[in-house]
Structure 1
Amino acid sequence: MTTTDHATRRAKAAAVSEAAARRERRRRTVMISACVAAALLLVGGIGFAVQSARTDTSGALVPAGAAGPDGGIVVGSPSAPVTVDVYEDFQCPICRAFEEQTGDTIGSLVDAKKIKVIYHVLAFLGPESERAANAAAAAANEGKFAELHDLLFASQPEEHAGGFQNAELVHLGSRVGLTSPEFVEAVHKGTYDDYVAQVNDAASREGVQGTPTVYVNGERLQTNALTPGGLTAAVTAAG
C-alpha cells in the first residue's frame, strides 16, 4: 500500500471520527436541553411574578416591527400561512441551545415564506436580560432585529456574571450595522425597558412559565419537539 493510500485512509478515518463526534455533541445538547428545561420553568415562574408587579408602563415606547404594545417582534412575511411565537431570554442558556439547533431551520422556513415568527423577548434572569432585550428592541426599531438577535445569542455571557453591559451591546450592534446615535442612545437610556416589561407581563398572562417556549399557530410545542424536525413537522401540520 502506498503512502498516498495510507494518507487517504487516515483522512477518511478522521472524517468519520469527526462526524461521530458532531453527532455525539448534538445528542448531548438535546439531552441537556430536555433536563434543564424543567428547572427553567420554575425559575421562569418566579421571574414573571416579579415582572407582573411592575408599575404602570402604559406609556411605553413600542419599537417598529412589534405586534402591538405588548407583542413580540415580527420577522418574516405578514402573509405567511403559519405563525410561530417564540418566547426567549437572551441570558437563557437553553434558549441559546435552541437557537443553535433550530435557528437555520427557522430561517429557511421564513425565507420560504412558510412562517412568520413573532419573537417575544423576555427578561427574567436579571439586569443582563433587561439590557439585552432593550438593545434588541432598539435594533428592531431600525430593522435589524434578526441580525442582533443571532449575535446576542452567539455572544451570550454566563448567567448573572454582569454581562451584556451597555458598552458591549453598542459594540455588538456596530457589528451588524447599528451605529446610529438613536440606537446608541436607546441602549444607554433603556428606551424600551417599559416595552420589554409589557411583553413580560403579556407572556405571564398567556401562561408562559419558562424559556424557550414555542407556539405554532397557537399550539404549544412540547420540550421534546423543540428540534428542527419537531418544528418542521408542526409547521407542516399547521399549514
Structure 2
Amino acid sequence: MTSDHDNRPPARGSKKGQARARAAALREEAEARALAERRRERFMRAGISVGVLVVIAVITIVLVNRSSDGPEGTGAIPSGAIEGGTGVAAGEASAPVTIDYWFDFQCPFCGEFEAQNGPVLEELVADGTAQVVYHPAAFLGEESDRASNAFGCAIDAGRPVEFLTELFANQPAERTGGYTTDDLLASGEAVGLDDAVFESCVRDGTYADWGRHVLDAFRDEGLEATPSVLLNGQPLENPAAMSADEFRAAVETAVTTS
C-alpha cells in the first residue's frame, strides 16, 4: 500500500526542484543567446550586401562620369608609335642621344618646359644630335585624355610635333574643361590638319585611352612627375626649371659620354 507521501510532487525547496529550475533557466538563456546570434548574423549579412551595392553604385557613377565627357576608348595605339606603344619618335635612331620626354598636355610645368625647350628639341632632331621620343602620359583627367587622343590622330596624319607645339601654345588652365573637341580640331587646322580623316579620328575617340596606356608605362619606369626628361636613360633633375642653354649643355654632356 502506497502512502500519500510517496505520490506527492517534490517540495519546491527540494534539491531536485532547484536543479530542474536551474536547468530550465540555462536552456532559456542558451536559446536566447542563439536567437540573438542568428539575428546578428542576418543583420551583418544584410549590411554587407548593402555595402557591396553601395560600392558598385559608386564605381558605376565614377565610370559613367569619366566617360560622359568623351567617347569610350578602344585600346587602339597610333600606327606610328614606337614599339610598346608608349610614344612617337622624331629623329634618327642612330643619333648619339635619345631623349625620352614624358608629359601631360595639361601639366603647367610641362608647358614651361615646352616654352623654353620645345624649339631646342626640334633643333637637336634637325641637326642629328638626338632622337626625341614624345610620351603623352595622361593623368590629369578627361582633358588630358582628349588631348592625347588628338595627338594620336596627329601621329597618324604625320604631324605630331607641330600639333604638340600648337596644343602647348594654347594650353588651358589645368582641369578647367579645356581641350574640347572643337579646341583640338582648331589646333589641328592651325597646323594643316583639316581633313575629314583627322576630324573623324578626334571626334570618334580612336585613341581616347592611349594616354592612360602611356601612363601605365610611365609608372612602370618608376617616374613620378611630369615633365620627366631622360637623356640616354638618365633622368634630368627638374627639367622644367632649365633654360635653353642649360638644357643644351646637358645634351652636349650626354653626347660626349655616349
**Structure 1 length-normalised TM:** 0.72
Shift of 1:121: 0.4
Which residue in the other structure is 2:126 paired with? 111
Structure 1: tracts of 5 or more residues without a match:
1-58
Q: Distance in 2 between matches of 1:129 and 1:66?
A: 18
Structure 2: tracts of 5 or more residues without a match:
1-73
Q: Distance in 2 between matches of 1:65 and 1:75?
A: 11
Q: Distance in 2 between matches of 1:236 and 1:85?
A: 16
Contact 2:231 2:254 survives alignment (8 Å): yes
* Larger deviation, residues 204-213 vs 177-186: 177-186
Which residue in the other structure is 2:77 paired with? 62
Q: Distance in 1 between matches of 2:104 and 2:81?
A: 17
Which residue in the other structure is 2:252 paired with? 236
CA shift digits 1:131-159 (9 cap, x unpaired): 01110111011110011100000001111
Q: Distance in 1 between matches of 2:243 and 2:207?
A: 31
SS at match of 2:209: helix
How many residues are matched?
181
The CA RMSD over aligned residues, in Å, is 1.5
Q: Which has the larger radius of gyration?
A: 2
Shift of 1:227: 3.2
Spell out the pairing of 1:210-221 with structure 2 (5 A cutoff).
210-221=225-236
Contact 1:80 1:113 survives alignment (8 Å): yes
Contact 1:70 1:202 survives alignment (8 Å): no
Q: Of the candidates 243, 248, 253, which is equivalent to residue 227 of structure 1?
A: 243
Spell out the pairing of 1:1-239 with structure 2 (5 A cutoff).
60-223=75-238, 226-239=242-255
Structure number with the bigger relative contact order (C-alpha 8 A, sep ≥ 6) is 1
CA shift digits 1:147-206 (9 cap, x unpaired): 110000000111111111011111110111112222111111211123222111011100
AA aligned opposite 1:170: L
Q: Distance in 1 between matches of 2:77 and 2:222?
A: 22
SS at match of 2:89: strand
Identity of aligned residues (%): 41
* Larger deviation, residues 225-234 vs 134-143: 225-234
**Structure 2 length-normalised TM:** 0.67
